[in-house]
Amino acid sequence: MPAGCNAVMRGAQPVLLDHLVKGYDQLKRRLSRRLGSEELAGDALQDTWLRLQRLEDQAPVLNPQAFLLRMAVNIAVDQQRSHSRAVPVSEAEALLEVVDPAPGPEAIAQSRSEAQALARVVERLPRRRREILMMVRWEGLPQKEVAQKLGVSLRTVEHELRRAHDFCAAHMTGMRDE
């Protein structure tokens, strides 16, 4: 009776375990050549043994040797994938020591508060001065373009911008001192 037929009569698990034990050296050599590592082959065969121990209701296997080789290769590939995703302990520790440059909750709250205060100060500027400040500082438009859009001279834009800065600086400093 051919060896493959044994699996049909006895069940797959005992036949596969028997083939793994009896053909271990040959399987390891073939697997080592295929994977390029004797250590990886040994680990894969060990995991193959463990998986076979948990095997339940396996359909009959016609070629146990090929089945075991394929199973061990798949296990080795899975192991390599998981190892390539793992971060070495030294790198993980180094990452934990990196200072987060992002501001903390207190700094964020302070910044929001200052932004709201600045918005209130800007609202108190005369309309044209406020428009010039917004166009130059928030929209990033060149002063010459702002002058053209508003129909004023470049010198007027420069003067209004300077006065807006002075007003904001004076009122923001006063708020911080309170």
pLDDT digit string, tens, across residues 5-59:
444 345 678 888 888 889 889 989 988 888 888 988 899 889 988 888 887 766 7
Q: Tokens at residue 120, please? A: 């209130």
Sequence-distant (≥ 6) Cβ neighbours of residue 103 within 8 angstroms: 111
- Sorted by where each begins, the domain ranges of the chain are 3-87, 117-177
Q: Which CATH number fits domain 117-177: 3.30.70.100, 3.30.160.100, 1.10.10.10, 3.40.50.150?
A: 1.10.10.10
Kindly give the interhelix angle for 24-35 and 12-22, rounded to the nearest 10 degrees. Answer: 80
Distance, in Å, from the CA atom of 66 to the CA atom of 43, rounded to the nearest integer, reads 18
pLDDT digit string, tens, across residues 130-145:
999 999 998 999 999 9
pLDDT digit string, tens, across residues 94-123:
666 666 677 778 888 888 888 899 899 999
Distance, in Å, from the CA atom of 115 to the CA atom of 109, rounded to the nearest integer, reads 10
Mean of pLDDT values over 62-66: 85
- Say which residue, 16 or 93, is predicted with more confidence: 16
pLDDT of residue 177: 52
105 contacts 64 by C-beta, under 8 angstroms: no
- CATH class of the domain comprising 3-87: mainly alpha
